[in-house]
Chains A and B, each alone.
Chain A
């Protein structure tokens, strides 16, 4: 595991206590795993994705990531309908390790209530949580 100071936490995304990130662009929110999460998981070998059109409530499990011999559930930061999934992850799940905020995004949703984003942590709050 890396030191927290060696990990990357962009300012323009919001974070959850379960280590997902959310980034709003227009009326679409993109969601993925933070650099801390991918580092903790190790080499990711499979990403289980939801279907476009599925709807989830805030905090629901929407899929899973399998690192070597370990399956970890992932949870949706805000309620909404899936409008996009990162199909590149089917052949290249390692993108979550290599480029977790860009090429390794997992889903795009249309939020049910965009104000739920306000409940999520900014970089400073997330770092405080990680440092305990």
Chain B
């Protein structure tokens, strides 16, 4: 268990959550799904916690406090590439999502689970850290700039929002995406940040769809495993 996570109430009852692999889902549809899941849990606290695993088609998302100023190309240019910019209410600044990036959205009542917000963010980073370690990649958190880093290159990001003690949004880990669109922003508001991915670190060929699909499936299994261990929540696969 990560050093700072001391969930006091976890010994009472082991909680469970329903895990769904949604494959590829457009960002706004995934956001609608998260919000409807959240609202269902607010209306009926016995609704289960849920975790969604997915990839998005190419999209930029802004944090609650924005991030449009960290675009380094024009919005017309992005429009010409068919890439939308979506305002969200999560923490953090601008980021990019696209195919080959593994995204995890836990819709969890943190108070019932006995997990503090800071510990939840820390735990999400730990899930990514242990996942890349399973590929033989050593990565770590940076106390100043959250997310997950391989040396000075960023490989994963976290941004969440809490409503009535329930989390939405989550984490994004670069598995085998085209990293070019990250060069059109200052990711998370940080200038001169280089991005990396599991495939880049391991020198994998990302031109074969089958290989990429196997990689994404492997990451899905690892996310499940590490999520369950770190937060002591058992997984029910849907």
Residues of A near any B CB (own CB < 8 A): 1, 3, 18, 39-43, 46, 48, 61, 64, 66-73, 132
A106 to nearest B CB, angstroms? 16
A67, B9: Cβ atoms closer than 8 Å: no
B164, A71: Cβ atoms closer than 8 Å: no
Between-chain CB contacts (< 8 Å), 10 pairs: A1-B119, A18-B164, A61-B163, A64-B64, A66-B64, A66-B65, A67-B118, A69-B147, A69-B160, A73-B163
Candidate in B9, B89, B161 with the most chain A CB atoms within 10 angstroms: B161
Chain A residues near B116: list those with CB within 8 A.
Answer: 1, 39-42
Chain A residue at smallest Cβ distance from B171? A69
Given contact pairs A68-B91, A70-B160, a sample of 19 additional A-B residue pairs in the complex whose CB atoms are under 8 Å apart: A1-B6, A18-B164, A18-B165, A40-B118, A41-B116, A42-B118, A42-B119, A61-B163, A64-B64, A68-B121, A69-B158, A70-B121, A70-B161, A71-B63, A71-B162, A72-B162, A73-B161, A73-B162, A73-B164
Residues of B near any A CB (own CB < 8 A): 6, 8-9, 12, 63-65, 89-92, 116-121, 146-147, 158-165
Known A40-B118, A42-B118, A42-B121: A69·B92 in contact at CB below 8 Å: yes
A66 to B165 Cα, complex, angstroms? 14
A72 to B166 Cα, complex, angstroms? 9
Chain A residues near B158: list those with CB within 8 A.
Answer: 69
A67, B91: Cβ atoms closer than 8 Å: yes
Chain B residues near A40: list those with CB within 8 A.
Answer: 116-118
A68, B64: Cβ atoms closer than 8 Å: no
B117, A41: Cβ atoms closer than 8 Å: yes
A53 to nearest B CB, angstroms? 23
A69 to B148 Cα, complex, angstroms? 13
A71, B90: Cβ atoms closer than 8 Å: yes
A72, B64: Cβ atoms closer than 8 Å: no
B9, A69: Cβ atoms closer than 8 Å: no
Candidate in B12, B91, B163, B164 with the most chain A CB atoms within 10 angstroms: B91
